[in-house]
Amino acid sequence: MKIIHTIREIREYVREQRTLGKTVGLVPTMGSLHDGHLSLARQAKAECDVAVMSIFVNPLQFGPSEDYDRYPRNLEGDARLAETAGVDAIFAPPVHEMYPQPQMTFVDVEGLTENLCGASRPGHFRGVATVVTKLFNIVQPDKAFFGQKDAQQVRVIEQMVQDLNIPVQIVPCPIVREADGLAMSSRNVYLSPEERRQALAIYRALQAAEAMFGAGERSADAIREQVRSIIEAEPLAEVDYIKIVDLQTLSDTSLIDRDCLLAVAVRFGGTRLIDNVILRP
């Protein structure tokens, strides 16, 4: 497996693969890999001849009070794991390679970025959309693989690709969970044992919501209240949002009469966790 740090070299590598007639899948990550990322890599390798994983902690998508500086970084460990999942090349540029001068051009996806995480993380999706556009322009993959845990991110990137005619197929991949149900996230390492134990309420609440929905409940308020009561029973939980939104528009809905997303963001101590389920009538 190759580890490449410059745009010139990754372009050269991809060009060589294309000359050999190979298709290219891209798995964009910020590193600190867990099984969720590895499942994306395996999917990329199953669907494309060559799997490229980018590892780049993108400063543009972190707010001033967020965890950019302390975000876990471990390229050597990540490389070992990526190789086991079949990754052919890692693209791990330093910040000055991606942003050699202050960025003056940004990608804003309007309408999908104001609700949910966009409301509490202003500028976050602009940073994501901008860096993902740059990665698509650099690697020019046939397909790109994203985890459905970041459901809003997936929807934003799908819309961006469509609006800007970027020739890449976006492949959303299922959420990967720990054995006890906690959605895998690079931020889980910040949780104390007690916070981690209480955080399991998120999955319990989502399961309860699915059960209510399965039994015929279609009122978003009723389901949200049930989710809130399960999560808020944990003393360390601070709910950022519990929302049920239209899966396409990501706008709030009161009646679940079409495909909807139940999405939550909850803080335990200083750690903000997100999770979701899709409710399909």
Which residues would be at the binding site for ligand PAF (CB under 6 A)? 28-30, 58, 61, 128, 131-132, 150, 153
Q: Other CB atoms closer than 10 Å to residue 46's CB: what's the count?
A: 10
- Beta-bridge partners for 272: 267
Q: Which of 137, 149, 86 is nearest to 107 (CA)?
A: 137
* Min dist. Cβ of residue 30 to ligand PAF (A): 4
- The residue annotated as part of the active site, out of 34, 37, 96, 124, is 37
Pick the closer one to ligand PAF by CB: 170 or 201: 170
* Min dist. Cβ of residue 246 to ligand PAF (A): 22
> For this structure, is 37 an active site residue?
yes
* Min dist. Cβ of residue 237 to ligand PAF (A): 23
Indicate left, alpha or beta for 115 from its phi (over 0: left) and psi (-120 to 50: alpha).
beta
Report phi then psi at 106, rounded to 5. Answer: -135, 155
Pick the closer one to ligand PAF by CB: 123 or 217: 123
* Min dist. Cβ of residue 60 to ligand PAF (A): 8
* Min dist. Cβ of residue 57 to ligand PAF (A): 8
Pick the closer one to ligand PAF by CB: 131 or 205: 131
Cα 112 from Cα 108, distance rounded (Å)? 10
Kindly list the catalytic residues: 37
